[in-house]
């Protein structure tokens, strides 16, 4: 059998491995009201406010609409190019309505995440390198080029 050149062989999941817990009965205001006067850094936060992803996976989701950047690179009109880049910048907010009041889990020190998107032509690698001020190194490999990012997240 012949191998198809543009086929994605890494497999993509269609649902999360763990369903999101129900949060209808959780109210952040009620939770804060019960903990008035307490040091909130010592209070155990309910697990139901987390989504079943970690921050490294969430960073990779920023590249979901990377084809907008590919399209912008091929345009000659600077205005059209800026429109495509702006559309990419706001595309990360496309799923925030479903994630209101939920935060991803913080990755462990030394935890890595790798995502190979053969269909989009990039490879994403991220590693948690510091915990106190959350610092994540992530690399994006596109064809023969790679882009290096250092992200400081104040969580």
Residue 40 pairs in a beta bridge with: none
- For residue 3, pLDDT over 50 is answered with no
Question: E strands of the chain, at which residues?
Answer: 50-54, 103-105, 112-117, 122-130, 134-142, 145-153
Residue 104 pairs in a beta bridge with: 51
Whole-angstrom CA distances from 25 to 47, 49, 53, 101 are 13, 11, 21, 13
* Per-residue pLDDT reduced to its tens digit, 125-150: 888 888 777 677 777 777 545 555 55
Query: Are the beta carbons of 10 and 116 closer than 8 angstroms?
Result: yes
Would you give the end-to-end CA distance of the chain in angstroms? Answer: 50
* Per-residue pLDDT reduced to its tens digit, 73-115: 889 999 999 999 999 988 888 777 767 667 788 888 888 888 8
Q: How confident is the model at residue 2 (pLDDT cuts 50, 70, 90)?
A: very low
Indicate yes or no: pTM above 0.75: no
136: which 2 tokens? 């994540």
């Amino acid at each position: 059998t012949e191998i198809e050149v543009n086929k994605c062989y890494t497999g993509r999941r269609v649902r999360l491995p763990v369903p999101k817990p129900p949060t209808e009965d959780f109210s952040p205001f009620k939770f804060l009201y019960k903990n008035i006067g307490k040091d909130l850094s010592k209070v155990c936060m309910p697990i139901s406010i987390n989504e079943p992803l970690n921050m490294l996976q969430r960073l990779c989701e920023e590249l979901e609409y990377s084809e907008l950047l590919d399209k912008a690179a091929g345009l000659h009109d600077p205005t059209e190019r800026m429109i495509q880049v702006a559309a990419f910048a706001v595309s990360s907010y496309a799923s925030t309505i479903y994630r209101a009041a939920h935060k991803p889990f913080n990755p462990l020190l030394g935890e890595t995440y790798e995502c190979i998107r053969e269909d989009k032509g990039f490879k994403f690698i991220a590693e948690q390198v510091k915990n106190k001020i959350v610092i994540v190194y992530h690399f994006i490999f596109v064809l023969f080029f790679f882009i290096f990012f250092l992200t400081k997240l104040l969580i």
